[in-house]
Amino acid sequence: MAEERRVVTVGGKGSSLSSSSVFEIANGLSRPRIDSSALSKVSSSSNSKTSNNTNAPTQSSAFSVLSNLTPEESKASLVVLLNKLLLSSSSSAAVTQLYDIILNDVSSISFDNTIDGVSPGEFSVAAISGISAILDHRSSALSVIIDAVAALSCEALGADISAFNLNDSGDGSTAKDVVSVAADVKILLNGSKFVNKNSDELAVSSVPVVHGKFREICRLLHSSTRVQLNSAVVSNSGSSGTASAMCTTLFSLAVALKDLGNISYNRAKRTRDDEISAMLQKECPRPDQLKAVFASLVSAHSDEEYVKFSHDVNSLLMMVEKIVSWEALAAFFSLEEKDFISGNTSVCEDSAKAGKKGGKKKKILGKGTTALLQFLKDRLLSMPIQTEAFENLVRHFSSLLDPKDSGFGTLLRKVKDIVESNESRRLPKLPKGTRDFAKEQMAIREKAFSIIVEVFKRHGASALDTPAFEMRETLMGKYGEDSKLIYDLADQGGELCSLRYDLTVPFARYVAMNGLTSFKRYQIAKVYRRDNPSKGRYREFYQCDFDIAGQFEKMMPDFEVIKILTELLDELDIGEYEVKLNHRKLLDGMLAICGVPQEKFRTICSSIDKLDKQSFEQIKKEMVDEKGLSDEISDRIGTFVKWRGPPVELLSKLKQERSFLENNESSLALDELDTMFKALERSRCIDRVVFDLSLARGLDYYTGVIFEAVFKGATQVGSIAAGGRYDNLIGMFGTRQVPAVGISLGIERVFAIMEQVQKDKNQEIRATETQVLVSILGDDSALAAELVGELWNAKVKAEFMIHKKVMKHIDRARDSRIPWMVLVGERELSEGVVKLKDVVAAIDYEIPRGNLVNDLCRRLDM
């Protein structure tokens, strides 16, 4: 009794046509049914058009569009065209004609026949859409299967899988699909003893990148195909553009398929089985054949023969499917005995029997690949194989990977289940824009924090800590256009809160709440921004802030924070940097002189602040098109923002500009800068400062001096510190205005520079400060506790290890770079001594047990 085929409704208002449905209909796995309401709508529309346009010419198209296509591609094309005609309420005659052809044998179509109401361009778009649906369905399936096959090959080849040790960096610099492929293959290989036996080779190490790119393009193809399958017919004039746009995605797919086929073939040909190798050379498509098909499709695309191009891409896909099938076959029979099929006995049962009889040692494959191999064996065992000829077995195996085979869907689900199962589940991942820090990185961070805190305390600052989240009303309206980056917390039926965006606003809120009029504080804590992660830009990161609030001598707090900034960057020893400096009042005066309305000062400042990342032409376009400035005003701004140079020299030049002296804001700013530059000169740090009129700092709360430190070395990280004066911010939270100035060090970017410096100098980083390893050569844990307890009580940094083999202890000390060891074995115990070992010099000393602590402290200069 024939299996009942699934029915796919075409043209229904509430249903959409999918790539899987087109594939199933094209291969006879499902049958189409026209939605009755769509059919009646077509009929009424056709009658209306006939009565109103009795003399109108009718477009027609020949079926020759399908002449070079396979029956599968032709039927898919007609199904898509049928759906488009139904959605367009086209001629009922055309709909009936197409429906009859689809229900019957497509191969019997006469290519000289025509279909009315459809232009050649519309027919071509439908054909490309139909082939795209097949490509979408088969490519999506292949993107799952190829990872599983690659995992089997890794075990069959004993491959080095270090290339799969990838993690999402969190800053957007790592392709997500590449990381995802690496994670899936590692899940399949979890626990395998068959990998990492041979050296790295390109066909394995390139899997994450090649498979990841294929995944990305499959997703793009699925999105564009879904739209085309469920859109009405386009006009003949618009069909060319639609076809070209669709084939752009297919071209990317073709490139990815060629790369995929090449690395799959290179893994397959490495098989150690002579019989399979001979068959592979004879029957498996080769890279030169892939190259020939790719050249054909490139030529068709260049000649704008888009239907032929789509057909060639599908031909390339089928060739790659065959290559992957052969790779799977080669890996399968490299890992399993070829005669396992004999007697219809499962290998698991054979292995169990062999184990009882003391037979061959059980293979330890990955948890995922073991389950996959057993599934494939069970499927083969269930097939009615007539002969035991190996060629017959190969044919049956290949059918398992055929998308048209009834069991293929089961295999696909099995692979997905293995990858997603709890038994070998995917490692948890970090949220985008965040990262973990390993012990070596933490050693660098702790060193940096200690330097920063020491500098802050040198200047008389007290530590302060504030909550990680604030009332939403506290943060809003303080950051200009960047307010959209604030992380809002979900409303739990109480107060509306947000994660802090910086440490300055919480500091201002604290000063106002506590009625302080003078406070010099530092704070090192995490802040949060809903930004797009990029290299050096995160959503969670540390800031190190130093602020001075209160009335002091004119410009002296401003001088001090800049001096602190230069001390910090010098003592962190990151290399060359410069401190760009400007004044908000000077900037406002410049904008007024240029003719910018006062209400637009802040928004224009936000535009100018982007000049370190964009050209002035891009900024000008933003100011004119989006913010309403005239070209003339924008050009005046462009003249001034190019001014930069040594502080005293540029200040002198500005004082000669009459317009700046006549403007009250800029005149006051020049006077304040004169005072500060003199202080910086006398303190010998002005050579680090550059006066730069393009520096704007987009935050709304700045009122005076603004500055920004930029690293000038090879590591591109952008701004590493910034700050300025904010005299009105504290007053927003209370009744009293308290002037303040502060600096914020972007410590995450400084860390990136320090890590690169360490790497460039080939410096090894000690993750711990352990001075002594207490090594017990045996199993006496009480003795270990006694000795290490004495050292801890004497404030010696010590660890202990209990193991019978002395080299295990020495390796531990060397790996952790621990300078001293205390070794105690049976001989030392009986003689009442301990052995001290200088690990670096490889010199041993015997000392009395009672002198251990004093002797060690002396050698450690304690």
pLDDT digits (tens, 9 = 90+) for 540-552: 999 999 999 999 9
Between β-strands 798-802 and 60-62, what pairing exists: parallel, antiparallel or unpaired? unpaired
Nearest to 568 by CA among 711, 451, 708: 451
Cα torsion 264, 266, 272, 277: sign: positive
- 8 Å CB contact between 751 and 444: yes
- 8 Å CB contact between 327 and 268: yes
Residues present in the chain in total: 862
Longest dimension (CA), the chain: 120
Nearest to 266 by CA among 150, 365, 372: 150
Dig out the tokens for 626 from the structure.
């989006």
Give this prediction's pTM: 0.59
In terms of pLDDT, which residue wins out, 512 or 758?
A: 512
Considering the chain, what percentage of its residues have pLDDT values greater than 70? 87
Cα torsion 34, 35, 39, 45: sign: negative
pLDDT digits (tens, 9 = 90+) for 455-478: 999 999 999 999 999 999 999 888
**Residues 242, 593: Cα–Cα separation, whole Å:** 52
**Residues 22, 78: Cα–Cα separation, whole Å:** 10
In sequence order, the β-bridge partners of residue 31 are 7
First to last CA, the chain: 91
The per-residue pLDDT for 236 is 59
Assess whether pLDDT exceeds 50 at residue 32. yes
**Residues 274, 256: Cα–Cα separation, whole Å:** 30
pLDDT digits (tens, 9 = 90+) for 66-97: 778 888 998 898 888 888 888 876 666 777 87
Dig out the tokens for 346 from the structure.
């499962």
* 44-53, 253-262, 774-783: least confident range: 44-53
Assess whether pLDDT exceeds 80 at residue 35. no
Instruction: Give the confidence band of 283 by pLDDT, cuts at 50, 70, 90.
Output: confident
* 14-28, 495-509, 599-613: least confident range: 599-613
Instruction: Compute how many other C-beta atoms are within 10 angstroms of the C-beta atom of residue 289.
Output: 15
